[in-house]
Structures are given as C-alpha cells and as structure tokens.
Amino acid sequence: MERTPPPLDGELRFDELTCAEHSDDFGHILRHVPEAVLLPGSADDVARAIRWAAQRGRKFAAQGARHATFGRSLVAGGIVADMSTLGSIGVVEDDRVVVGAGARWSDVLRATVAQGKTPPVLTEYLDLSVAGTLIVGGVGGTTSAYGVQSDNVLAMDVVTGEGTTLSCSATENVELFDMVRAGLGQVGVIVTATLKLVAAPESVRRFQLVYPDLATLLRDERLLSGDERFDAVQGAIAAAPGGGIAYRLDVVKYFDGDPPDDTVLLADLSDDPNQRQPTTLGYFDYANRFAALETALRANGQWFFPHPWLMTFVGDSRIESVVTAELQSMNPATDLGPFGQLTISPIRRSAISSPLLRIPSDDLCYAFNFVRMPATSDAEEVQRLVAANRTAYGRIKAAGGTLYPVSAFPLSQHEWRDHFGPAFDQLDAAKRQYDPYAILNPGYDLFEQLRPQPAVG
C-alpha cells in the first residue's frame, strides 16, 4: 500500500544516491538498500516516520554513525533514519549534559572538556554515535571503574514502534529504560540522552608496556585491576613486525598539575623495563587516540575494507586457556591483519549494571576482542573470517564466555534467546509492548518479524 509521506520538519529521501549511501556500514560485509532515508528535522519526525512505516508494513532502523560491523542499522526495502541530524549538544552542567541521540562522542567530549567535564566512560574510537553505543553498552578503558556507557546514561527520550515518545530513567518508565540500555534497539529509537558527567583530567601519563608472553601480561592485568593505580588498563596481542607475537599493555594515569611518579606507578610490574614507552598527553588527545589509526587506514585504503570483528567477554578463570586456544587456531598476520589485534582488557563485573549486557559470572572478566583489519577486500577471505568468528564464539561460549553483540556473524533467533538467557523473556515482553508490529531495528534479527500491522488511520 503506497501513501504520501507525512509532513515533516526534515525530509524523507527516496533517491538512489541517498539510499545507496545508507546501505553500508563500517563492516562492509552486508549491504541492504533501504526504500527511503529520513533526515529528521526534529524528534517528532522520527515518531511521524515510524508511524508511517508501520502503516505501510515497512521496517525502520535508526542509523547513528553506521559503524556497526554486520549490517545492524541496515534495512532492505525499509526506512532508515540518519540520526546525525539530531546531534545537538545542550548546556554542559556540573553533572550532566543533554544531547541529541545522533551526536558523536567526539562532539560530546569536545563540548564537555571545554567546561572541565567528561563522560566517565569513552569508547576506544570517538566517532561513534551516542545512541549507537548506548544500545550495545559501550565499553571503554574506564569500564572497570565506571561500568559501560549505558550504565552512565541518566535519562532518555525514546520513540516506540508505535510512534509514541516516552521519557525513561531509573525512576520513570524504568522497564523501558532497562530494555533500551544494551537492548540492541529493539524497543525504541533514542532521540535524546542525558549523559552523566564527571571532572575531566587535564592530562594523562600513558605507558605502553611490552611482555614476553601471555601469562606475564595477564599477571599484570590482574595486579592492576585489583589496586586501581591506573585509570585505564588495556591489553593487546598482535603479530610482531619481525614475526612472532607481541604482548602489550597500555596503561594510563589521569592527572592535573604535577605528573605522577613513574616509579610508583610501575612498581612490581613484570614487563620489559627496557621497552617502556611513557608519554604525556592532553586528555582530549588521549581520548581521541584512535584518530591517528583512522587517518593511516584511510590513507592506505584499509578503512574501506571489510571488518569482520568479534567481541566477547571471558571470565578470569578461563581467560588464559581461551586466549591460548584462539592464538593456536589462527594466523595473526592474516586473521588479524597488519593493523589488527586481539585486545584483552580487565573489567570488574560489579561495575556493570545494565541488565541486558551479558557478562560471565567471574568477579574479574575481560573484554576479549578480535579487532580484525584484513589487508584485503576479497569476498571469500571475508566469509572465512565471518565463519571463524562463529567457530571462535562457540569455543568461547563453551568456556563460559559471552558475546558482545557488535560482532560480525549471524545469530539465529534461538541463539539470541540463549545469549540473553533469563533476560530474554523480559526483552520479548517489552518488544511486544513497545514495538507490537516488530518493525524496529531488524538488523539484529532477534525476533520473528511477522506480526499484525496497525490499522491505517
């Protein structure tokens, strides 16, 4: 059934070029061309377009920065909303800021740092949209202390699958709040978010430490996750330039005024002292550190190659055997690529409160990620790595690990149910309540998609 689009503050574009631009993401693995692209001029436009899509039996997904790796914001023949037009940053208050859901974390940080404030947790890369990370969780270097980004959102305005706008927080529409945070966009489109702020440090002292092997790297990760001497601790394993494997730890201490004492910070660590690389950086430059890699990857073309990433959480009791098995099952030079790496960053489980984020039961867990940067766009090679993600996830799951759903491989609805465990029924009930026609965010393929359409009104 065709209908004229409703009057909008922004516009709905049907042209081939705009639809093609919104048919791809950072993964460059899947491509789905939408029927139309909404450039919302207001939050009300999102509600109008969702109602219009539902009446025509079309699916609807918000697109933030399109940095998902497996087509999660794409909708074949449906409507996508380019949320970058709703990226306003409100007045920076002492403990919070209200932002449009399409704002990028880089813009949020620029505005808050100017007032001496920062969100407590920032992702490794800042050009992700605020809502895009809130719906998955948002893991960063300070997660062990502060949780994920969705643990640090104070309130949100959300448009449901029926086109109704609701405010939610820890005290208002609490169930909706809990099902939106790390809920994979299944129950609503976020239009504004109130983000918690804390004092921003002026500077950071950063050390890149080198280890002889995995056991020694993990020994220091455990030590540092227990004594809180650093603000961020992130381990990495990569193919070493001259062959073999490099084990590294990136640790950071925030400070104002005088720099901290390096000797105290590095006491009792087991890295190679001759290879320590200390630097001092401004806080924003540190937080924006991925930008240099982005520039390099754009220059050599690899930014535009497929990125079949796998992201998981593994408990401390199994991390060493899991990482060892994964290293034995791969050739890091080709399976991760020259700029790729495995990352292993400690997280104290007690810091996480978003109910839908699935984390193993150990008190100490690790975000264990396969950041694959293959130096090829060969389709067969990409499919091999997508299949390798599934196999590796099977092994990690058998060891009690859990999936961070931003990963690049398909999960069946049965597997999603298994992933969410007891929380699935709550998400399913919320989906039926807030998105009764099951039109929102089909890219995760979490729910059966055939439900009755609304009466045309």
| Using rule CB under 6 A, residue 341 touches ligand FAD | no
- Residue 278 backbone phi and psi in degrees, to 5: -85, 145
Which of 374, 442, 366 has its CA nearest to residue 404? 366
| Using rule CB under 6 A, residue 233 touches ligand FAD | no
Beta strand spans in 25-152 (E): 36-39, 60-63, 79-82, 96-100, 117-118
CB of 455 to ligand FAD, least distance (A): 26
Closer residue to ligand FAD, CB minimum distance, 315 or 443: 443
Contacts (Cβ under 8 Å, ≥6 apart) of 16: none
| Using rule CB under 6 A, residue 347 touches ligand FAD | no
Q: Which stretch binds ligand FAD (CB under 6 A): 65-73, 200-208, 244-252, 352-360?
A: 65-73
DSSP-assigned beta bridge partners for residue 199: 117
DSSP-assigned beta bridge partners for residue 189: 159
What is the C-alpha separation between 60 and 52, in angstroms, rounded?
10
- Residue 416 backbone phi and psi in degrees, to 5: -65, -40
| Using rule CB under 6 A, residue 430 touches ligand FAD | no
The residue from 441, 442, 446, 447 that contacts ligand FAD (CB under 6 A) is: 441
The residue from 129, 144, 152, 194 that contacts ligand FAD (CB under 6 A) is: 129
| Using rule CB under 6 A, residue 406 touches ligand FAD | yes
Q: Which stretch binds ligand FAD (CB under 6 A): 66-74, 202-210, 245-253, 258-266?
A: 66-74
CB of 158 to ligand FAD, least distance (A): 8
The residue from 10, 26, 195, 364 that contacts ligand FAD (CB under 6 A) is: 26
| Using rule CB under 6 A, residue 119 touches ligand FAD | no
Q: How far is CA 145 from the centre of its chain?
A: 18
Q: Which stretch binds ligand FAD (CB under 6 A): 56-64, 268-276, 326-334, 428-436?
A: 56-64
Is the separation of the CB atoms in 69 and 389 below 8 Å?
A: no
Is the separation of the CB atoms in 293 and 125 below 8 Å?
A: no
Is the separation of the CB atoms in 259 and 203 below 8 Å?
A: yes
Closer residue to ligand FAD, CB minimum distance, 148 or 330: 148
What residues make contact with ligand FAD under the rule CB under 6 A? 25-26, 61-68, 72-73, 83, 101, 123-125, 128-129, 131-133, 135-140, 185, 189-190, 406, 441, 443
